[in-house]
Amino acid sequence: MSAGQIVFDGQDITRLPERILRPLRQQMQMVFQDSYASLNPRRRIGDLLAEPLRVHRTPDGRKHTPMTIAHRLEELMELVSLPRAALERYPHEFSGGQRQRINIARALVLSPRLVVADEPVSALDVSVQAQIVNLFADLQKSLGLTYVFIAHDLAVVRQISTRVAVMYLGAIVELGETDTVLHNPAHPYTIALTQAVPRPIVGAARHAPLRGEIPSPVNKPSGCRFHTRCPAVQTRCQNEAPTLTQIAPNHRVACHYPVLK
């Protein structure tokens, strides 16, 4: 991205000076997709979790003492259901699911208000995925967190999200409450995504996959970005880019010919 705004708590933070942005960073943390690559393999887990506390001060401007740091690390281990002994071990001594719990603990160490989770369960086994998603849900309820949860798995999206933004080639094509978007999709791309979800039902109807190749994000198609693969494309779609328009309360779609029910 080379333009635009990032608004946090009603404030555009893209051009703030360092002295103002630094305390705001404590309120925004991230959980990455690769649980192993995001942890320094040469440092113990306790050191990795303690580092943000040593860098940042308390809300009233005081430094964290060794005692308060140790107490906070024990709290974090309990939050993510790992033993205290894990603090003395190295990243390679844990499974993928355990490492992701450590990454979640690191994101929570400064008590943020917003957590950005970038495909945090896509590299995990299905059974472990469920455990991590349940952990995210439990933490959201107990700590009052706000998530920006980036995922391709609609089952995960349905379980963790209250609002969904469906994107294609970097643009939002549908936006609304989770149940509305996933049960009554209006954009052809959203419809294709929901139809592609495997259904464990014998004799369930099969849906034709989208045709064509995904265009390069560097050289986007003219008009609607999805028109090269859209099964309902018309001439207008090739020349005119649709705007995100409200079609129902809390439901917006960028399509000239949305599917309305």
* 59-69 residue pLDDT tens: 777 898 999 99
- For residues 193 and 131, membership in a common domain is answered with no
Last residue of a domain, one of 145, 161, 177: 161
- For residues 60 and 187, membership in a common domain is answered with no
Domain count, the chain: 2
- For residues 231 and 147, membership in a common domain is answered with no
Structure tokens given for 72? 């906070």
Q: What is the pTM of this model?
A: 0.87
- For residues 155 and 34, membership in a common domain is answered with yes
- For residues 41 and 156, membership in a common domain is answered with yes
- The predicted structure's pLDDT at residue 200: 67
- The predicted structure's pLDDT at residue 203: 64
- The predicted structure's pLDDT at residue 40: 95
- For residues 140 and 250, membership in a common domain is answered with no
What parts of the chain have a pLDDT lower than 70?
1-2, 200-206
Give the pLDDT confidence of 123-141 residue by residue, as tens digits: 888 889 999 999 999 999 9
Which domain does 32 fall in, by range? Answer: 26-161
- For residues 157 and 193, membership in a common domain is answered with no
Whether 254 is in a domain gets the answer yes
